Amino acid sequence: MVIDSHVHVGESLFGYKLTVEELLSCMKECKIDKAIISPVKPRNYHFEPENDFIANCVKEFPDKFIGFGRIDPWQKEKALEEIDRCIKTLKFKGLFLHPWEESFLVNGKLLYPVMEKAMEYNIPVMISGGHVRVSEPLQIGDIAGEFPKVNIIATSGGQINICGMALYDAENMLTENKNVYLETSGIYRQDFIENMIRKLGSFRVLYGSNAPVMDIRYEIMRATTARISDEEREDILGRSISKLVKDEE
């Protein structure tokens, strides 16, 4: 079972877009069985209709998709109500947060009620990681330390830095916080993924593409070409995320 743990469906305010049909065709081409899908930030800035859209996609293709809800923490009470709706009504398995696109500090007090909700529902929170000033590795480590019972999926391993200068912090953050999972999209460098599989265990490393921002056909190769054992590869390509979202049946 191959699962892409990070895909956005819809048309983003920021120009990128992906339709269900395009995603299904790409999954077929890349031999991906399932994908975790979550909303883009739409032109009208409202996540509720986008969450509905994702729920409908999951309803239409229950064997292909797992839904994650997206909220803007700046909406405060409304965001918390939307989390309730995402989990109770739309049956989503997790939350997606984008500190860069929604302009909030991942370790700011604003996020605490959101994390408390995630703890209450026992759902993982995927955080777009590695953005300067808002979701740097140590900032993700800070919020992870405050909420050790909430599983956090840090996209790009929490570091997007082509200089390699964030690798040290990301490695320490992942080592110290056992509730943080490394998602592989766009990662600098490939040996960071391979080393972290050895250091953290393959159950804490998840293949994700961050499509359509990134290219599924390329991103999956980070997992398929990594110099790791077959067992480890099966973990990062599907088993790890499957356990995390309790999708094992």
Partner 1 sequence: MVIEESFNPHRIKQKKLTERRESCLIIDAHAHIQELIGSSWNSPPERLISLMDRAGIDKAIVMTYSDMPGSDSELLRYVAEATQEYPARLIGFARLNPGYGPLSEELLVLAITKMGMKGLKLHPVGYGIHPGNEVTIKLIKKAAEFNAPTLFHCGDEEYTLPLQIAEAAKKCSEATIILGHMGGYFHVQDAIRVAEKYPNIILETSAMPYPYLIRETVDRIGPERVLFASDGPGCDPLLERKKVELANLSKKEIELIFSENIIKILEKVKKY
Instruction: Point out which residues bind partner 1 (CB under 8 A).
Output: 132, 160-165, 167, 186, 188-192, 195, 214-215, 217-219, 221-222, 225
Buried b (16+ CB within 10 A) or exposed e, 202-235: bbbbbbbbbbbbbebeebbebbeebebeeebbbb
Pairing of strands 205-206, 3-11: unpaired
Q: What does the block give as tokens for 148? A: 């050790």
Q: Residue 96: how many CA atoms within 13 Å on its side-chain side?
A: 28
For partner 1, the closer of residues 16 and 112 by Cβ is: 16
How many helices, marked H, and strands, marked E, lie in the chain? 10, 9
For partner 1, the closer of residues 13 and 165 by Cβ is: 165
Euclidean distance between CA atoms 174 and 244, whole angstroms: 16
For partner 1, the closer of residues 185 and 202 by Cβ is: 185
- Please report the DSSP string for 64-122 in residue order: TEEEEEE--GGGTHHHHHHHHIIIIIS--SEEEE-TTTTT--TTSGGGHHHHHHHHHHT
Smallest separation (angstroms) from partner 1 to the CB of 108: 22
For partner 1, the closer of residues 169 and 219 by Cβ is: 219
Smallest separation (angstroms) from partner 1 to the CB of 185: 8
Smallest separation (angstroms) from partner 1 to the CB of 91: 33
For partner 1, the closer of residues 57 and 196 by Cβ is: 196
Smallest separation (angstroms) from partner 1 to the CB of 134: 14
For partner 1, the closer of residues 97 and 160 by Cβ is: 160
Smallest separation (angstroms) from partner 1 to the CB of 26: 12
Smallest separation (angstroms) from partner 1 to the CB of 59: 31
- Please report the DSSP string for 28-53 in residue order: HHTT--EEEEEE---TT--HHHHHHH
